[in-house]
Homo-oligomer: A and B are copies of this chain.
Amino acid sequence: MRILVVLAHPERKSLNAALSQVILDELHVQGHEVRISDLYAMGWKAQIDRDDFPELPDDQPLRIPSASRDAYHTASLTDDVASEQEKLLWADTVIIQFPLWWFTMPAILKGWVDRVFSCGFAYGVGEHNDKHWGDRYGEGVFAGKRAMLVVTTGGWEQHYSARGINGPMEDLLFPINHGILFYAGFEVLPPFVAYRADNLDKAGFQTAADNLRERVRSLALTDPIPYRYQNRGDYEIPTMVLRQDIECEGREGFRIHQASSLQQSS
């Protein structure tokens, strides 16, 4: 397989870096082709701004969707962005590893999404009609590819449990897994999460590393999160509301956008 690993941690002597090495070593053992986007090492520019669109006339206001669509279609995106898009198209599987800071990704990684997931590339694609509302949520440029988050937290696992004060990890990662990755077409694997990253002893690290290795070995076999496809009948178009006759067994919020065992996405 061709695997892109995206890393967003500033320190090589860290648990994150040690876990990255576990991933890379195991991918090597398995004989995969691997490319790496180590955002801090690359000096990745985090904020999207006017400099991202060198062809945008000075007298024209910056509207990100149209500017990024025009730049994408005229191949005038900056080289750093075009290079990341090329890597994403090359890969069949993408692993994105980051420390959870303030319950989401570090700014540098958010900036990778803001800048690389251009209009016309990762959103704003496909036809709009009464059966099909753009290629998104299960369709799009990354359809057929897989993605998996590898996340570390300082906090305890219980704090992220179903009734934990931080909110369930599954829900905290939903805007990334569903809103970014599935939106742009990826099949999204359940995340790998290492809790209390700053307090792992040697045995704790070994356990985390063993579990991570197993996840890397089973990348091609793991069932993706069963998010509902937008254009396969579960949603009203164009309101994009889940059909009222689809029962969600008391679930609410983000949970209803997964097909349960009884209610497979058609």
Copies of this chain, tallied across the complex: 2
Q: Given contacts A114-B102, A198-B65, are A107 and B165 in contact (CB under 8 A)?
A: no
The reply to whether B108 and A47 form a contact with Cβ atoms under 8 Å apart is yes
Known A10-B49, A254-B253: A102·B175 in contact at CB below 8 Å: yes
Q: Tell me which of A21-29, A79-87, A142-150, A153-161 binds B.
A: A153-161
A172 and chain B: residue at smallest CB distance: B175
Q: Which of A70-78, A187-195, A235-243 faces chain B?
A: A235-243
CB of A14 within 8 A of chain B?
yes
Q: Does A167 contact B (CB under 8 A)?
A: yes
Give the number of residues in A that approach B within 8 Å (Cβ atoms): 67
The residue that A103 contacts in the complex, of B106, B163, B179, with Cβ under 8 A, is B179
Contact A46 B167 (CB under 8 A): no
A178 within 8 A of B: yes
In the complex, how many angstroms separate the beta carbon of A205 from the nearest chain B beta carbon?
16
CA distance A201 to B233 in the complex (A): 32
- CB-CB nearest in chain B for A8: B47
Is A164 positioned at the interface, with any CB of B under 8 Å from its CB? yes
Q: Is A36 an interface residue (CB 8 A)?
A: no
Query: A121 at the A/B interface (Cβ < 8 Å)?
Result: no
Q: Which residue of B lies closest to A166 (CB)?
A: B179
A113 contacts across to B, CB distance below 8 A: 102, 107
Which residues of chain B are near A175, meaning CB under 8 Å? 102-104, 167, 172, 175
Assess A107 versus B179: contact at CB under 8 Å? Given A171-B253, A239-B156, A250-B250. Answer: no
Residue contact B240 to A63, C-beta cutoff 8 Å: no
The 7 closest A-B pairs by CB, nearest first: A107-B111, A46-B46, A103-B179, A13-B61, A103-B175, A107-B110, A47-B108
What 20 additional pairs, Cβ within 8 angstroms, besides A10-B62, A46-B107?
Answer: A10-B47, A10-B49, A47-B111, A48-B107, A101-B114, A102-B110, A102-B175, A103-B179, A105-B110, A107-B108, A107-B110, A107-B114, A108-B111, A137-B165, A156-B238, A158-B239, A161-B241, A165-B257, A166-B240, A172-B179
Q: List 20 A-B contacts (CB under 8 A).
A: A10-B48, A10-B64, A11-B63, A40-B47, A47-B107, A65-B198, A102-B113, A102-B175, A102-B180, A103-B179, A105-B110, A111-B111, A137-B165, A159-B240, A162-B252, A163-B256, A164-B241, A165-B240, A167-B257, A252-B252
